[in-house]
Structure 1
Amino acid sequence: MTTDITNKKTGTSHFFDQLEQQTQTAREQMYQAPVFHAAAKGGISHATYSAFLTQAYHHVKHTVPLLMACGSRLSEQYEWLRQAIGEYIEEEKGHHEWILSDLDACHVDTVPVRANTGAGKVGCHIELMVAYLYHQIDRGNPLAFFGMVWVLEGTSVAAGRQMAAHIQKTLELPDQAMTYLMSHSALDQQHIQLFEVLMNRITDPADQQAIVDGANMVYRLYGEMLAQLPLGETAASATEQHSAA
């Protein structure tokens, strides 16, 4: 059922609310990935968590370069958004190194991850996701980048801390192995509030559509990555019981 999302005071539509609504189907499909149910049932393995962190590294390392590229392609009318991107860059610098530290705390060799070789190689869905974003910035609409921001930070706020708690408890990991998930779920609470304000200042229909399309594409590709994470026997059993129910 479609609802009419409007500002009661002005009668105008809020784009952030539209973004939530128009990406709902893709978001719900992403949450169908077996890893979410497995984590809640204590079925996450060390291999699952390591694989997730490895793929996270391969997209997080592009966050700052993507922000810089996006800012450089914005028109003069979006100077206010370019200023916000500059502040965002300062906050995001070095976060991919947090992931390597988490992997190291899990006793995973980070050399192949950093070198993108062997067991540390980027998966096809994350590679396609990053390539899609660079392509949109270079040849399409740079505002499509904010579709990724909505997916990753929205997911972090909605499920990040809970997932981190399940994983840490199940695998009995130290806090040093949970830096990325735990810190981002808290940091992204602040980011998503600012994101809402920024999105509501975007009024051009073409730019709004580019963000919606970007979010739906990233939900699909990121969801495919999550769906293909390796699950241990406990996780696989939990998933089968859930599917049969």
Structure 2
Amino acid sequence: MTFYERLISETTDERDAFLEIPLIQRTIRSGASRSLYLEFLSEAYHHVKHTVSLLALAVSRTTDERYQAALIEYIGEEHGHEKWVLEDITALGGNAEDVRNGKPGISCQVMVGYAYYAIERVSPYALLGSVHVLEGMSVLLADYVAEAMKQSLGLDNDRGLSYLKSHGSLDSEHITLFRSLVDGFEEHRTQQIIIENARIFYRLYGNIFQDLGACREYSDAA
């Protein structure tokens, strides 16, 4: 068993729990309202905008040249993705400037804060736990969610869905590169750091969707 296969195996419970979040299940089946999707994009902006900074921090905290090179390449690929989110918000009638100048929900703040903490205080390899979750779930779910959203919003094109579409099956190359990277880590301690942080990030990322779902249910009931 390769380390990547072990990572998949040892995070099965956390991944299954994430995929069973009611909001995610409902959105895959039938999409979501425009307002709820805009709320999701707002939260996405407030964590995506930290991606390059987190990658750069990990570069500065490791002496592993192979890892550094992979992170630097990843920085080039991820630069500016937060702008795609703002463009989608504008395309769907939302106020991108309000989102840019606003604050994320508490769960998003906690996830981003933990990401910085983990790189600084646990290990720069902890970042790979978040990459595994965020990239893996994006590739797995983005195409399904984008199609469901297209139907529920009555869109006849992909306008407003560029963030989702860019992280769908066409982005699977990132998973291949990630797999190649992590399979090169042979030290048990490094492997455990990645596994443990993947488990944590499934929970932290899932909390964002739990909060969005809870807010929507409260709004619908009011």
Q: CA deviation at 1:215?
A: 0.8
Between the aligned partners of 1:155 and 1:29, the Cα distance in structure 2 is 12
Contact 2:107 2:211 in 1 (8 A): no
Q: CA deviation at 1:111?
A: 1.5
CA offsets, 1:72-91, max 9 Å, x none? Answer: 1112xx20111111111111
- Could you tell me which runs of 5 or more consecutive residues in structure 1 were left unpaired when the two chains were aligned: 1-5, 7-13, 237-245
CA offsets, 1:85-114, max 9 Å, x none? Answer: 111111100000000000001100111210
- Opposite residue 7 of structure 2, the aligned amino acid is L
Q: CA deviation at 1:36?
A: 2.2
The aligned residue for residue 125 of structure 1 is: 107
Between the aligned partners of 1:162 and 1:80, the Cα distance in structure 2 is 34
- Opposite residue 67 of structure 1, the aligned amino acid is L
Q: CA deviation at 1:188?
A: 2.7
- Could you tell me which runs of 5 or more consecutive residues in structure 2 were left unpaired when the two chains were aligned: none
The aligned residue for residue 142 of structure 1 is: 124
Counterpart of 2:10 (choices 22, 28, 47) is 22
Query: 99-108 vs 203-212, which deviates more?
Result: 203-212
Q: How does 1:2-151 map to 2 (within 5 A)?
A: 6=1, 14-75=2-63, 78-116=64-102, 121-151=103-133
Change (3 A) 1:166 1:99: same
Q: CA deviation at 1:43?
A: 5.0
Query: 49-58 vs 221-230, which deviates more?
Result: 221-230
Contact 2:31 2:148 in 1 (8 A): no
The aligned residue for residue 10 of structure 1 is: none
Q: CA deviation at 1:40?
A: 3.3
% identical equivalent positions: 38
- Opposite residue 21 of structure 2, the aligned amino acid is A
Aligned residues: 217
Pairwise CA RMSD of aligned residues?
1.7
- Opposite residue 201 of structure 2, the aligned amino acid is V
Contact 2:140 2:169 in 1 (8 A): no
Which runs of structure 1 show a deviation greater than 4 angstroms over 4 or more consecutive aligned residues?
230-233
Contact 1:26 1:220 in 2 (8 A): yes
**TM-score scaled by structure 2?**
0.92
- Opposite residue 142 of structure 1, the aligned amino acid is P
SS in 2 for 1:53: helix
Asked if residue 183 in structure 1 is aligned to residue 166 in structure 2, the reply is yes
Q: CA deviation at 1:187?
A: 4.5
Between the aligned partners of 2:96 and 2:140, the Cα distance in structure 1 is 28
Between the aligned partners of 1:43 and 1:149, the Cα distance in structure 2 is 25
- Opposite residue 207 of structure 1, the aligned amino acid is T
**TM-score scaled by structure 1?**
0.84
Indicate the structure (1 or 2) with the bigger Cα radius of gyration.
1
- Opposite residue 202 of structure 1, the aligned amino acid is F
- Opposite residue 195 of structure 2, the aligned amino acid is V
Q: How does 1:226-237 map to 2 (within 5 A)?
A: 226-230=209-213
Contact 2:31 2:151 in 1 (8 A): no
